[in-house]
């Protein structure tokens, strides 16, 4: 992580993607998050937004880019975009299938202008399929892939924020796909289309659970398995203060430490992997953890191999000693936000300033270099 006091020239040149240029068509959710990551890693990201759109240059997800206002219904503006794309390494768009083609900026047109370009497409349902043109959100994409049905208490599924579809199954798979295509293009000289769909990514994230189900180690039904809240040794518990802690003592040696530090001497706790015993053991452990405050349990368990952590709010997380020591959160423009991740030893990522820009000037700069 670069120091906040580092010169702006150093910040602009930092990151493993410092020599790459990416054109982003403004959107919401996973596309901007993916471009935030690419910008943090040093890529020059130009965001094309509609004229008059509300802009927040201090936005966390919008950090590190130059923003250009354009009317893409204007043929002259489309011609300018094509000129810019002629000198770009990648394009990222998150419209419904067919929109870019109707604008005259579909893959066939753009790749004819710049054959080495990587064309990243972010959608919920994908470019093809019976639902491709339907509206949807994260909750819908994770619903049809088996992910949402497995999350939550027995009574009903619980949306895991929009982490699984939008950001995990969407943005991160788009980033991986674009980077893989850029790597391949550097050898072959040919670009390609990256079709990143949130339903594809959410399904991919479920790979381990499909594997365990096939092996008979995972059963359908929430709170029925060892890491879905069913087991007493892997879950969330309320403390006397009303705050919560998390326990993940799966391995026998970690479970032994849990028993030692929580005082679980009762022989009934010997049946760690007996599913039939889990409900009763969970009730017993619930009462035990409610006997002390979260701070008390932190003093007893934090830093041990129990696999323990206090459950913190976002505000609390920014003040946790481990997070402070690693610089996991940083403040920019009065906004506390996660720092760039992952970390690079030789070409560190950095948060750069966002700004408005002129597409004509950008094109001239790109043509010269």
Q: CATH code at 75?
A: 3.40.50.10540
**Residue 13 pLDDT:** 60
Q: Do 51 and 193 have their domain in common?
A: yes
Among 46-55, 76-85, 218-227, the least confident range: 46-55
Q: Do 146 and 240 have their domain in common?
A: no
Q: Do 125 and 261 have their domain in common?
A: no
CATH number at residue 252: 3.30.1540.10
Options 166, 200, 228, 232, the catalytic residue: 166
DSSP per-residue codes, 109-177: HHHHH-TT-EEEEEESS-SSSTTTTS---HHHHHHTTTSGGGSS-TTS----TTIIIIIIIIIHHHHHH
Q: Do 174 and 246 have their domain in common?
A: no
Q: Considering the domain boundaries, does residue 58 fall inside one?
A: yes
What range does the domain containing 272 cover? 234-311
Instruction: Using pLDDT thresholds of 50, 70 and 90, give the confidence band for residue 59.
Output: confident
For the question of residue 137 being annotated catalytic, the response is yes
Q: Do 13 and 130 have their domain in common?
A: yes
Q: Do 201 and 272 have their domain in common?
A: no
For the question of residue 322 being annotated catalytic, the response is no
Q: Considering the domain boundaries, does residue 215 fall inside one?
A: no
Q: For the segment 106-131, what is each residue's pLDDT rounded down to a tens digit?
A: 999 999 999 999 999 999 999 999 99
Q: Do 293 and 362 have their domain in common?
A: no
**Residue 1 pLDDT:** 40
Given a cut of 90, whether residue 11 has pLDDT beyond it is no
How large is the average pLDDT for residues 350-360? 90
Options 83, 137, 296, 320, the catalytic residue: 137
Instruction: Using pLDDT thresholds of 50, 70 and 90, give the confidence band for residue 55.
Output: confident
Q: Do 143 and 283 have their domain in common?
A: no
Domains: count for the chain: 2
**Residue 197 pLDDT:** 98
Percent of the chain residues topping a pLDDT of 90? 88
- C-alpha span between 91 and 141 (Å, rounded): 24
Q: Do 68 and 179 have their domain in common?
A: yes
Q: Considering the domain boundaries, does residue 125 fall inside one?
A: yes
- C-alpha span between 362 and 365 (Å, rounded): 5
**Residue 36 pLDDT:** 96
Q: Do 304 and 351 have their domain in common?
A: no
Q: Do 170 and 49 have their domain in common?
A: yes
Q: Do 352 and 287 have their domain in common?
A: no
* Ramachandran assignment for 293, one of left (phi > 0), alpha (psi -120 to 50 degrees), beta (any other): beta
């Amino acid at each position: 992580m670069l120091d906040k006091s580092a010169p702006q020239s150093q910040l602009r040149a930092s990151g493993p993607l410092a020599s790459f240029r990416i054109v982003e068509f403004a959107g919401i959710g996973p596309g901007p998050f993916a471009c935030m990551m690419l910008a943090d890693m040093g890529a020059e990201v130009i965001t094309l937004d509609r004229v008059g759109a509300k802009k927040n240059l201090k936005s966390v997800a919008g950090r590190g880019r130059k923003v250009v206002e354009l009317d893409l219904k204007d043929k002259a503006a489309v011609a300018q975009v094509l000129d810019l794309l002629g000198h770009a390494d990648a394009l990222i768009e998150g419209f419904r299938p067919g929109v870019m083609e109707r604008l005259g900026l579909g893959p066939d047109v753009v790749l004819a202008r710049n054959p080495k370009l990587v064309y990243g497409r972010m959608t919920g349902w994908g470019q093809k399929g019976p639902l491709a043109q339907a509206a949807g959100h994260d909750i819908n994409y994770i619903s049809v892939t088996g992910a949402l049905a497995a999350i939550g208490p027995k009574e009903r599924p619980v949306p895991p924020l929009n982490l699984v579809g939008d950001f995990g199954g969407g943005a991160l798979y788009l980033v991986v796909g674009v980077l893989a295509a850029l790597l391949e293009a550097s050898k072959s000289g040919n670009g390609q289309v990256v079709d990143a769909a949130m339903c594809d990514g959410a399904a991919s994230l479920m790979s381990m659970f499909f594997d365990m189900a096939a092996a008979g180690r995972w059963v359908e039904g929430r709170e029925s398995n060892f890491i879905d809240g069913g087991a007493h040794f892997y879950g969330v518990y309320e403390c006397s203060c009303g705050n919560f802690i998390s326990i993940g003592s799966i391995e026998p040696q970690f479970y032994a430490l849990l028993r030692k530090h929580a005082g679980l001497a009762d022989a009934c706790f010997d049946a760690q992997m007996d599913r039939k015993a889990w409900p009763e053991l969970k009730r017993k452990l619930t009462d035990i953890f409610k006997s002390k405050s979260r701070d008390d349990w932190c003093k007893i368990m934090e830093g041990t191999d129990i696999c323990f952590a206090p459950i913190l709010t976002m505000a609390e997380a920014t003040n946790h000693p481990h997070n402070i020591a690693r610089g996991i959160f940083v403040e920019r423009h009065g906004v506390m936000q996660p720092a760039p991740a992952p970390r690079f030893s030789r070409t560190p990522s950095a948060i750069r300033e966002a700004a408005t820009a002129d597409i004509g000037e950008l094109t001239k700069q790109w043509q010269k270099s």
